[in-house]
Amino acid sequence: MTSSIEQGSASVEELLALLRDLRTSTASIAEELSAVNQSAPTAAQLEVARQVVTAPAANDATRVAALPLELAVATLRAMAEAGRLDILRGVAETGGKTVAKEAKRELQRLRSRGVDVGEVARSGAPLVKPPPPVPEPASYVSSLDGFGERAVWFARLLPGGIAVVQAIVSDTRGLVQVDVLSLGRRSYRAFAASLPSGGPVLCAEVTRDHARILIAEALAKTETLGLALPRGYTSATGILGSLPEKVASPARERFADAAATLEEGASVLEHPLFSSWIPDEDSLRQVATRVDEIAVSQLYIDEVQREQAVEEAVTKAAENYFTMEHRRLYAGRLFEQAFVLAANQLTDVAARAVAVARALESDASWSSIPFTRALFARPFAKSVAPHEPSSEAPSSLLVAP
């Protein structure tokens, strides 16, 4: 042994010589080092260092960083001599402060000799933490009115604010109106907080994909009918982006397990959200004409017969109206309305709406679905005044572009 070991320490060169001399066991080295230095490396630690020095592997940076400093320094020198820059960089980037500094020193020695050692990533947390990511703004939809129209607000975060595609969509006419708005985050939050939360119009928060699907469905309807697109749609395309991969109706998926009796279904019309729900104008006009004829006809001798005749007229109108096309139309409306109801914690009413929607989509007879006749009977019931369109149509919710 050299004098430096006898004095209680070993130089880098001396330790490397011992590690590379496979004729001397690591136990013997540990015994001789510990004789003069109680904090000398153990035989196990020396064995790890010997394995790295004699046969370095790609994942050895962690093993080197865990060695006692004196042994790690010697091992790092061996890695520099062997050109194992990956291990040196690994220790410099992930090791403790002291051992990382020694690894950087070896890299600097190589750099001064003209070796391209690459870049060493900064270790530890940055001095200034980056700001947390800003969450994407919520999108919103309104409930449907009696004509199948609703408002949709598709929101996307952009530098400096929020871009909003504000659309009126119809399940019979497609895209009715499209505007593009640019709002600050605070203004958009204030707008969202001002959306109706009761009465004949409700709104619900939806995912951006949900809002995107509703606008896409309306666009498809407009194109199928050969109607002109609203003036603002071209400006909106860049904000809307592409369709999500999954285009199934989120409203239908929401109620896969909903349950309610069909007999309760007609009672959904009693909720304010359905106050404007009546059949189309032409169908109602035909029934109204027949009711007027009954009122003046001399064929009915008393009010009982007249009421029976009105009931028969309403029943016949409902039967003629609820073709498969209209059944599918109202089923879709009921699913979407149920989504808004559930979002506003009106789960019982939502379940009834879903029950009717499922029945309308099934092979069940129209007469077995009380909702169908109730939709026609309501405008002509003595206890109910003729329907007046609600003053709170979705268009009254729109923000002026």
Average pLDDT, whole number, for the chain? 83
Question: 296 or 8: which carries more pLDDT confidence?
Answer: 296
* Tokens coding 71: 């042994």
Residue 256 has pLDDT above 60, yes or no: no
User: Between these two residues, 169 and 66, which has the higher pLDDT value?
Assistant: 169
Residue at 128 is within a domain: no
pLDDT in the model for residue 9: 56
Per-residue pLDDT, 390: 44
289 and 228 both lie in a single domain = no
Residue 87 contacts residue 107 (beta carbons within 8 Å): no
| Residue range 213-253, pLDDT digits in tens | 999 999 999 999 999 999 999 999 999 988 887 655 666 66
Task: Please indicate, yes or no, whether residues 93 and 207 belong to a single structural domain of this protein.
Answer: no
Same domain as 369, residue 272: yes
Is it the case that residue 164 has pLDDT exceeding 50?
Answer: yes
Domain boundary among 222, 253, 284: 253
Helix residue ranges per DSSP H, 241-322: 250-254, 281-296, 303-321
Structural domains of the chain, count: 3
The answer to whether residues 148 and 170 touch, using CB atoms and an 8 Å cutoff, is yes
Tell me: do 233 and 260 sit in the same domain.
no
Q: Do 245 and 335 fall within a single domain?
A: no
Kindly state whether residues 291 and 370 are assigned to the same domain: yes
Which residues constitute the domain of residue 70?
Answer: 3-112
Q: What is the pLDDT of residue 135?
A: 84
Element (H, E) at 133: none
Written as six digits, the tokens of 9 are 């320490």
Give tens-digit pLDDT for 305-358.
Answer: 888 888 888 888 888 888 999 999 999 999 999 999 999 999 889 989 998 998
Instruction: Tell me if the pTM is above 0.75.
Output: no
Q: Note whether 240 and 270 are same-domain residues.
A: no
Look at residue 134 and tell me if it is in a domain.
no
Rounded distance between C-alpha atoms, residue 103 and residue 1, angstroms? 27
Amino acid 21: pLDDT: 85
CA distance 64 to 75: 7
> Residue 400: what pLDDT?
63
In contact, 148 and 305? CB cutoff 8 Å: no
Q: pLDDT band for position 293 (50/70/90)?
A: confident
